[in-house]
């Protein structure tokens, strides 16, 4: 009995290795093993789901798992090689009958992957025919259940018109943050938010006697006016005003929406950009944040409308209800803004921090070279890559200006891989102007120390070129 369990563990370890590597590595080393070549029937040999990474991972998993289970090293590697060969046989057959890559076919997907290694394992351990058949059946049931879970849960599109690459790593992040809503599971898988911030950190601030002071600080929003000059700004956009609201987290601090409304109501802008992070938590229901946004959005006055991007706290599921309230989301997309026959472009990328689904190629696909463009990104972390696409202005948030700063030390956390000089305020890089807003709300613990929330009003000005009155 123990031997049978060990053999099943070995076979399932080999079977599990390719999808695990797909999750850990995403698009790294995922070149199809058939090189994209097609057969006489015009169909792929194996398909792009079968990669060299997966095959080598399965073989290596066989060797390591077999060694760990007490089998000879060569036997584990042989089992891995034969199992992956069987998997390729299944894929070859599925392509010939025109089944799509990733389609789960009970029996066909498991029989060769389990039977070929058992041709070696059976004689080596003197397994009888009935035990071999039983092991193959149990392996097939387990492998089928795993494939079904992978395809129907992990690789299932959560919404129509899903705009992201359908990859295991992306979907598991989404499931953790957006699809697991029942208590207490979502608290368990979101330890940082549920335990570290709301229990440990909040308790620390209360014990120090500064929690209420920090909470009051978080309600001290200011209206920050920034003027940026560009020599290539189209003349019709001289004086163009952008209301930039990011890191709202309106459901995380009582009284914040009221304070924000006091500032926003009198502002008249040409454009409003919502920079992501609309809810307080990184998991759970979006309903409390949506209720607060429904109060805010009707009070925004922007001639060219409201555009939004997604942050690391946001789910794709929020797009539809907020679109009904006037926000046009740019998920790796762009929009054209026109004035008196002239135009500028606004590009927006998906969250580059947690979901890591930003696609600058796609976002700038419709932006002609050398035309004036603004890039909205939730985080400053892709500033180097972004500069290569030529935006004149990069607007971002995410850092909250540090949120909690100490004398001399400065910000305790930036939650960004970008240099600290990009933490807050104006900056520039390789001819691109940037502005990192301190954000409206707070994240984690609802306190601020030595920072303030802000409503950013950015005015674009055309910089006149100085002409020398005398010849050189």
Residue-level pLDDT at 149 = 79
pLDDT band at 3 (very low <50, low <70, confident <90, very high): very high
Length of the chain: 472
pLDDT band at 471 (very low <50, low <70, confident <90, very high): low
Residue-level pLDDT at 466 = 57
Per-residue pLDDT at 154 exceeds 80: no
Question: Would you put residue 319 in left (φ > 0), alpha (ψ -120 to 50) or beta?
Answer: alpha
Residue-level pLDDT at 304 = 97
Element (H, E) at 260: helix 256-264
- In the chain, domain spans: 2-156, 201-462
Task: Specify the DSSP class assigned to residue 179.
Answer: I
Find out if CATH 3.60.21.10 is the number for domain 201-462: yes
User: pLDDT by residue (tens digit) across 434-464?
Assistant: 999 999 999 988 999 999 999 999 999 998 7
Per-residue pLDDT at 196 exceeds 80: no
Mean pLDDT of the chain: 90
Task: Quote the tokens at residue 6.
Answer: 């060990």
Task: Quote the tokens at residue 288.
Answer: 């409390």
Task: Quote the tokens at residue 234.
Answer: 């189209």
User: pLDDT by residue (tens digit) across 44-84?
Assistant: 888 888 899 999 999 999 999 999 999 999 999 999 999 99
The alpha-helical segments, DSSP class H, found in 26-157 are: 52-68, 73-96, 108-125, 129-149
Residue-level pLDDT at 187 = 52
User: pLDDT by residue (tens digit) across 292-306?
Assistant: 999 999 999 999 999
Distance, in Å, from the CA atom of 217 to the CA atom of 282, rounded to the nearest integer, reads 23
Please, which residues have CB within 8 angstroms of residue 470's CB and are 6 or more apart in sequence?
none
Per-residue pLDDT at 194 exceeds 60: no
pTM: 0.81
Bridge partners of residue 425, in order along the sequence: 436
| Most confidently modeled range among 90-94, 334-338, 412-416 | 334-338
246/187: higher pLDDT = 246
Distance, in Å, from the CA atom of 250 to the CA atom of 314, rounded to the nearest integer, reads 13
């Amino acid at each position: 009995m123990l031997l049978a369990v060990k053999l099943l563990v070995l076979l399932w370890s080999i079977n599990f290795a390719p999808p695990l590597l797909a999750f850990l590595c995403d698009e790294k080393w995922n070149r199809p093993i058939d090189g994209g070549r097609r057969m006489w029937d015009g169909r792929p040999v194996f398909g792009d789901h079968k990669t060299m990474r997966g095959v080598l991972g399965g073989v290596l998993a066989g060797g390591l798992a077999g060694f760990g289970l007490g089998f000879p090293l060569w036997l584990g590697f042989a089992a891995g090689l034969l199992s992956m060969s069987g998997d390729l046989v299944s894929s070859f057959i599925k392509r010939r009958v025109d089944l799509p890559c990733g389609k789960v076919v009970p029996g066909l997907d498991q029989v060769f992957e389990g039977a070929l290694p058992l041709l070696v394992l059976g004689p080596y351990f003197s397994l009888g025919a009935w035990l071999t058949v039983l092991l193959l059946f149990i392996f097939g049931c387990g492998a089928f259940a795993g494939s079904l879970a992978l395809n129907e849960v992990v690789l299932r599109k959560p919404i129509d018109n899903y705009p992201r690459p359908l990859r295991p790593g992306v979907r598991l992040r989404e499931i953790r943050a957006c699809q697991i809503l029942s208590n207490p599971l979502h608290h368990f898988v979101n330890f940082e938010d549920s335990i570290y911030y709301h229990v440990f950190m909040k308790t620390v601030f209360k014990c120090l006697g500064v929690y209420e002071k920090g909470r009051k600080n978080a309600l001290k929003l200011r209206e920050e006016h920034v003027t940026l000059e560009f020599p290539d700004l189209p003349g019709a956009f001289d004086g163009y005003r952008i209301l930039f609201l990011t890191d709202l987290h309106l459901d995380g601090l009582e009284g914040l929406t009221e304070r924000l409304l006091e500032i926003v109501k009198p502002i008249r802008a040409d454009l409003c950009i919502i920079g992501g992070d609309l809810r307080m938590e990184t998991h759970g229901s979006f309903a409390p944040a949506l209720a607060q946004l429904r109060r805010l959005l009707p009070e925004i006055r922007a001639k060219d409308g409201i555009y939004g991007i997604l942050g690391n706290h946001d789910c794709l599921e929020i797009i539809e209800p907020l679109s009904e309230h006037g926000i046009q989301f740019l998920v790796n997309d762009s929009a054209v803004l026109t004035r008196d026959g002239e135009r500028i472009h606004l590009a927006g990328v998906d969250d580059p921090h947690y979901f890591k689904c930003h696609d600058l190629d796609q976002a700038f696909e419709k932006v002609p070279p050398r035309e004036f463009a603004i890039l909205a990104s939730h985080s400053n972390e892709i500033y180097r890559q972004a500069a290569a696409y030529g935006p004149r202005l990069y607007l971002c948030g995410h850092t909250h200006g540090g949120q909690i700063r100490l004398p001399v030390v400065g910000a305790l956390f930036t939650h960004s891989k970008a240099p600290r000089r990009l933490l807050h305020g104006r900056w520039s890089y390789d001819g691109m102007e940037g502005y990192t807003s301190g954000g409206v709300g707070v994240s984690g613990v609802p306190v601020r120390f030595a920072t303030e929330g802000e409503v950013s009003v950015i005015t674009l000005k055309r910089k006149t070129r100085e002409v020398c009155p005398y010849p050189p």
